[in-house]
């Protein structure tokens, strides 16, 4: 029997509970921010799922802040399906969606720098402002 092909689909709001359950192990490991079902429903406006048969094996969404900026959020691929190109396909779908929305810049915040750089992301755009961060609680004397 042949292995099922991984397919990428536009996420549907009706899949929010299933998406929430898929993301939970990543949240528990501290790899993703915790999100409510309502937040997941909101993200499904611009989101994609990867399925192996009837099982979700990947998810990614973009949050469109303005015409200038959007962010890839909740990028995740199940451990048993990593390094198979699923993450790259999900990122490409997010890039295409941002282009369809006429977004000028798409950012991703992640601990997976090497992966995102291999997808064409960089720390800043040439001759653009750079983001600098501070943890306010560490700055109070």
> Could you read off the pLDDT of 75-124 as tens digits, one per residue?
999 999 998 899 999 999 999 999 999 998 899 888 778 888 888 888 77
Say if 100 falls within a structural domain.
yes
Compute the distance between CA of residue 141 and CA of residue 137 in angstroms, rounded to an integer: 9
Residue 73: per-residue pLDDT: 95
Say if 43 falls within a structural domain.
yes
- Please say whether the beta carbons of 81 and 6 come within 8 A: yes
Say if 124 falls within a structural domain.
yes
Tell me the CATH number at 104.
3.40.630.30
Say if 88 falls within a structural domain.
yes
Task: For the chain, state the CA radius of gyration.
Answer: 16
Say if 1 falls within a structural domain.
no
Say if 33 falls within a structural domain.
yes
Residue 8 has pLDDT above 70, yes or no: yes
- E strand or H helix at 92: helix 86-100
Q: Which domain holds residue 19?
A: 6-139
Q: What domain count does the chain have?
A: 1
**Residue in 139, 141, 95 with CA at minimum distance from that of residue 121:** 95
- For residue range 15-52, list pLDDT tens digits in order: 999 999 999 999 999 999 999 999 999 999 999 999 99
**Residue in 34, 51, 125 with CA at minimum distance from that of residue 89:** 51
Say if 62 falls within a structural domain.
yes
Residue 125: per-residue pLDDT: 65
CA 50 from centroid of its chain's CA atoms: 12
Say if 99 falls within a structural domain.
yes
The pTM of this model reads: 0.84
């Amino acid at each position: 029997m042949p292995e099922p092909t991984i397919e990428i689909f536009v996420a549907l709001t009706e899949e929010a509970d299933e998406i929430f359950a898929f993301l939970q192990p990543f949240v528990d490991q501290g790899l993703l921010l915790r999100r409510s079902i309502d937040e997941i429903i909101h993200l499904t406006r611009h989101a994609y799922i990867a399925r192996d048969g009837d099982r979700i094996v990947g998810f990614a969404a973009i949050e469109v802040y303005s015409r200038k900026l959007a962010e890839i959020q909740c990028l995740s691929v199940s451990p048993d399906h990593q390094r198979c190109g699923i993450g790259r396909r999900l990122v490409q779908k997010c890039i295409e969606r941002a282009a369809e929305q006429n977004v000028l810049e798409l950012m991703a915040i992640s601990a997976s720098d090497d992966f995102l750089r291999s997808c064409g992301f960089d720390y800043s755009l040439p001759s653009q402002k750079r983001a600098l961060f501070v943890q306010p609680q560490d700055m109070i004397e």
